[in-house]
């Protein structure tokens, strides 16, 4: 049985994402626990990007759904290969592999911290170059 909060998440999120054809929505509720989260996945030629929002006490379901929708739309508009939370996870494997580059939205503080940590241990610089509004090139090595 779905909770009323989950129903509101689905109704608001699915309605806002209806204009994104590459997006699939799931209406599963897998737990009857006290917490809630919402995911939206954008499928594209190179794979998929997943956007997640976690509920908090006193945060309305519609606000949570809007945050997930906004993150996905920002990524789609930027036309980049990697969303910001995957970007910070790619830095270390790329440094260990000898380098590479990708495009992403504005790097998170976590990505910048990972870059600084990598620079402390390897002679492998990580550069962030702004290419345009919310479009960045990340180069490792």
DSSP 1-67: ---HHHHHHHHHHHHHHTT-TTEE--------SS--EEEEEEEETTEEEEEEEE--TT--HHHHHHH
Catalytic residue among 12, 20, 44, 110: 110
Q: Is 110 a residue of the active site?
A: yes
Q: Any idea which residues carry the catalytic annotation? A: 110
């Amino acid at each position: 049985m779905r909770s009323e909060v989950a129903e509101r998440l689905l109704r608001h999120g699915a309605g806002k994402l209806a204009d994104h054809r590459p997006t699939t929505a799931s209406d599963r509720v897998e737990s009857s626990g006290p917490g809630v989260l919402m995911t939206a996945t954008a499928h594209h030629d190179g794979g998929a990007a997943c956007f997640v929002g976690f509920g908090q006490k006193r945060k309305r379901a519609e606000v949570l759904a809007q945050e997930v929708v906004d993150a996905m739309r920002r990524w789609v508009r930027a036309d980049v290969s990697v969303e910001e939370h995957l970007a910070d996870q790619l830095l270390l494997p790329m440094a260990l592999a000898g380098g590479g580059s990708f495009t992403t939205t504005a790097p998170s503080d976590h990505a910048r911290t990972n870059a600084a940590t990598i620079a402390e241990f390897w002679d492998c610089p990580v550069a962030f170059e702004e290419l345009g509004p919310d479009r960045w090139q990340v180069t490792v090595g």
